[in-house]
Structure 1
Amino acid sequence: MGDGDPVILVSNDDGVRSEGIEALAGALKDLGTVYVVAPDRERSAASHSLSLTHPLRVEKVSPRVYSVDGTPTDCVNLGVNGILRGKKIDLLVSGINKGANLGDDITYSGTVSAAMEGTLLGIPSIAVSLVTRTRFRFDTAAEMALDVARKVLKRGLPDDTLLNVNVPNAAREEIKGVRVTRMGKRVYGDMIVEKVDPRGKKYYWIGGDHLNCEDVPGSDLEAIEEGYISVTPIHLDLTNYTALRALRKWTW
């Protein structure tokens, strides 16, 4: 790629050595110059946390690949404002996550939060997740990520909006197609698992692997359940405008 090609920043929450980020970065090299800035270890469910109470350390793993001892949000912020300072970053892609980020999952997701940070910094951003916990088909998700990235580089995205992409774990020819969707609704239920250690003291795991969902027509959860790739535009303005209008009628 030449000097005039797009600059693409890649991050994730599974760690810099994850097979998912390697597949993603490899696919995106067809579009431009790819830089990877990712956590030094798994940071799943880190949400949009930013490290403010301790310094961050960076290790150059290989050419244009950097490891950070921080959260996905740290990685994007440090990548844009530190490691790649002075470069115009044309696109940020986060993933490929080992597992779905559907419905309310996005409020916990480090993968989606990396894309949120990119969006806050004015960079068109995409989060990509593979809907499985075993036998990952990263090739399919990487192919889809490349397709979406190409479209975003050409068309751009609305202000304060990122794309959350979830891909079924199947060969591309086995997937029925792509649906543009809305956020679904998870039903988390009992997420706490209580155990006792060998010394008789209780400890707890926060679970959540066995989730249900509400029946929301046109949702990302429905699309995946029916064998489609879901592409959901996520807006960073969290204001409830219906409630805003109602609250303005109150007496203050």
Structure 2
Amino acid sequence: MRKHILVSNDDGINAEGIYALVVELKKIADVTVVAPEKQMSAVGHAITVQYPLRVNPFYKNGEFFGYAVDGTPADAVKLAVKALLRDKKIDLLISGINHGMNTSINIIYSGTVSAATEGTILGIPSFAISLATYEPNPDFSFAAKFAAKLAQFIFRNGIPSGTLLNVNVPPVPESEIKGVLITRQGKAFWDDWFDLRKDPNGREYYWLTGKFVNYEHEDINSDHTAVQNNYISITPIHFDLTDYEAIGKLKKSGLEEIFKFD
């Protein structure tokens, strides 16, 4: 019996990355696409609670492609699992292929990763996959092939419960890929600033910009450094944000005592 894969993203249902992914996945499984109707990068794990969500069939090249949701990536996954596909078994959720890296601090902001996180929360084995380039018109073909290969691996071996895989593929030809590394989330970050500009009517506005700073160039076990060295980075992540080491330190500090009354 063929497996069933749910596909979503944050670049929008008409993005080239999701199309390349779906074409490749259909060779190995049944695929349902439920994705945001428009670009939703960097929305994180936001969900819509104050407005209704609308769903429309989306056609590409004259054929039905999937369902477009006027919400966030997490909305799309939640709606797919709880409503659109509630009577169907989903064996795997894949989010991507994102146009741009999702390493280090980007994981927190990423709608791509959040779609996979929502799948994990709902009990579905999930992974997010990104092509680590911001150049226009990138070639998603190798990343799509790798996603299909990883899907087959997961069908055979599974993923630890409560964990999703965050995959980043270097934007180089397949012949230059050195291999796959299981990595940790790196500590690279955005050094942000806001440019103050004026629109054609002379009104001021701010535009967020910045540069990505990676000070772990020698640590190949960091996701960003691994990708920079032409390795496919696979980082297992989960949604428990507790700092367990800090619990003991805070207990010893007497913090719990300051709210005790005589």
Report if TM-score (shorter chain) is over 0.5.
yes
Farther off after superposition, 189-198 or 140-149: 189-198
Instruction: Please say which structure displays the higher CA radius of gyration.
Output: 2
TM-score, length of structure 2 as denominator length:
0.91
In the alignment, what sits opposite 2:98? 97
* Residue of structure 1 aligned with 2:142, choices 140, 143, 157: 140
What residue identity is the alignment partner of 1:113?
S
What residue identity is the alignment partner of 1:120?
I
What residue identity is the alignment partner of 1:234?
I
Q: Give SS of 1:192's match.
A: strand
The within-5 A match list for 1:97-176 is 97-134=98-135, 135-176=137-178
Q: Distance in 2 between matches of 1:38 and 1:96?
A: 12
In the alignment, what sits opposite 1:242? 245
Q: Distance in 2 between matches of 1:38 and 1:6?
A: 20
What residue identity is the alignment partner of 2:100?
G
Q: Does 1:11 align with 2:12?
A: no
Q: Distance in 2 between matches of 1:229 and 1:74?
A: 28
What residue identity is the alignment partner of 1:245?
G
Offset from partner CA, 1:115-163 (integer Å, 9 cap, x none)? 0000000000010000111241200110111111111111111121100
Offset from partner CA, 1:41-92 (integer Å, 9 cap, x none)? 1011110000000001101124461111110000000011111011111100
TM-score, length of structure 1 as denominator length:
0.95
Q: Distance in 2 between matches of 1:244 and 1:159?
A: 24
What residue identity is the alignment partner of 1:139?
S
- C-alpha deviation, 1:190, in angstroms: 2.7
Q: Is the 8 A contact 1:34 1:64 kept in 2?
A: no
- C-alpha deviation, 1:170, in angstroms: 1.6
Offset from partner CA, 1:169-206 (integer Å, 9 cap, x none)? 12211111111100011231133222112333210112
What residue identity is the alignment partner of 2:102?
N
The within-5 A match list for 1:1-252 is 4-62=1-59, 63=64, 65-134=66-135, 135-208=137-210, 210-215=211-216, 217=219, 218-251=221-254, 252=256
What residue identity is the alignment partner of 2:241?
L
In the alignment, what sits opposite 2:259? none
- C-alpha deviation, 1:211, in angstroms: 0.9
Q: Distance in 2 between matches of 1:34 and 1:72?
A: 17
Q: Distance in 2 between matches of 1:195 and 1:215?
A: 34
Where does structure 2 lack aligned partners over 5 or more consecutive residues? 257-262
Q: Is the 8 A contact 2:172 2:230 kept in 1?
A: no
Q: Distance in 2 between matches of 1:207 and 1:81?
A: 37
Q: Is the 8 A contact 1:140 1:170 kept in 2?
A: no
Q: Distance in 2 between matches of 1:248 and 1:145?
A: 44
Where does structure 1 lack aligned partners over 5 or more consecutive residues? none
Q: Give SS of 1:103's match.
A: coil
Q: Distance in 2 between matches of 1:190 and 1:114?
A: 25
RMSD value over aligned CA atoms?
A: 1.3
Q: Is the 8 A contact 1:141 1:167 kept in 2?
A: yes
Q: Distance in 1 between matches of 2:150 and 2:246?
A: 34
Q: Is the 8 A contact 1:194 1:205 kept in 2?
A: yes
In the alignment, what sits opposite 2:260? none
Q: Is the 8 A contact 2:104 2:189 kept in 1?
A: no
What residue identity is the alignment partner of 1:196?
K
Q: Is the 8 A contact 2:192 2:208 kept in 1?
A: no
What residue identity is the alignment partner of 1:69?
D
Provide runs of 4+ in structure 1 moved above 6 Å.
Answer: none
Q: Is the 8 A contact 1:137 1:171 kept in 2?
A: no
